[in-house]
Every structure is written in C-alpha cells, then in structure tokens.
Amino acid sequence: MRKLTFMELALVAMIRQAPRSGYDARKEFLSTPVGRCSGSPGAVYPALKRLEAFGLIAGRVRNRDSLRPKTTYRITRRGEEALRAHLTRPITRNDVVWHMDDLMLRFVHAEEILGLAGSLEMAEELRREIRGFSAEMTEFTGQVATRVSLTAELALQHALDTFQVHEKWVSNAVRRLRAKLKGS
C-alpha cells in the first residue's frame, strides 16, 4: 500500500475517535483549524472512498431508501495498524525540514494510540532531529551571512528562529510528558 496523504491520515485518525460521515468530516475540517485539509466535497469524499478501498475504514449506508442515504465510516483493524505504523515511523531530518505539519498531526494522536511512554519517545526523537537541523542551520547561517544579500540573510534568520521555537516547544513537551509519566 502507498503512503497515505496528510488528509487521508487526518481522516483515519478522526474516524478512529468516532464514526463519521463524509459530511461530519467536512464540517470538522471547515470549523476547526486543521489547516491543510480541505473541507470541499471534491477532496473529502474521494479520500474516504480511497481509504475504504484500502480497507482502512468501512462504510455503512443508512437510510438507503431515502433521497439522501448517509454513509457512516468506522476504522478497521487494518486502519488501526496503518495509523500505528505511521505514528511509530522514524522521524527524519527531511520530516523536520519539510513536513512539520505531518509531525504535529502524528503528535496530536500519539498519546491516545501509543500511550505516554510512546509519546515521550516520539517527542525525544523529534527533539534530536530538530536540534541536529538547528545546529546545521546555525553553522550555515554563520558561514554565509556576510556573503548573501540582506533579504537572504533575513530569510535564513527566519528559518533559524523558526527551528529554535520548535526546539523550545519540543523541549517543553518532553519535560511535561516525563512529569506526567512519573505521576502515573
């Protein structure tokens, strides 16, 4: 099976929390700050059909004889396995640089699927990767700052500041998860 898109993963995770129809999923995408997920029918319904074809969710049609039959989806065992596999996939430098939104979606669902210990492990791995890339960015910025235009220097500084904020956030997440795990 191919790697799932951000929207497909968001849908599987959402349906894992509670069975939903396509309309329910659309409403949630439109009314919450999920961000990258479109609530348009042209995005949600085809994604649900693909997930059903992959066997990750199963739909049940209600009011089949009405003018508006409604399909409600629930997660399957295979969907649970795919979600767990996605959450436990190693975090890479590439993820940190290009897919922070996917990492945050993984983190949102980590505790409910992996537990506190698994969430802590994920946060520690994320912190290692962020620290590594932040150190690379710091070194690179120092090397080229005097040889690039002011706007290029400012853009590099923005990237560096962003990763320092990510590092601060994940260090706090690690601290809080450790404290909660000790208190359990």
85: left (phi over 0), alpha (psi -120 to 50) or beta: alpha
What was the pLDDT predicted at 63? 83
pLDDT digits (tens, 9 = 90+) for 3-57: 888 899 999 999 999 999 999 999 998 887 755 688 889 999 999 999 999 999 9
* Structure token pair of residue 61: 């049609």
The mean of the pLDDT values for the chain is 93
What was the pLDDT predicted at 37? 81
Predicted TM-score (pTM) of the model is 0.88
Greatest mean pLDDT among 29-38, 134-143, 165-174 = 165-174
**Domains of the chain by start residue, with CATH:** 6-76 (1.10.10.10), 93-183 (1.20.58)
What was the pLDDT predicted at 34? 57
Asked whether residue 58 carries a pLDDT value surpassing 60, the answer given is yes
What was the pLDDT predicted at 50? 96
Cα 162 to Cα 150: distance, rounded to the nearest angstrom: 18
Percent of all residues in the chain with a pLDDT value above 70, rounded to a whole number = 98
Degrees, nearest 5: CA angle 165-167-169: 70
pLDDT digits (tens, 9 = 90+) for 82-111: 999 999 999 999 999 999 999 999 999 999
* Structure token pair of residue 25: 């999923």
Q: For residues 42 and 112, is the Cβ–Cβ distance under 8 A?
A: no
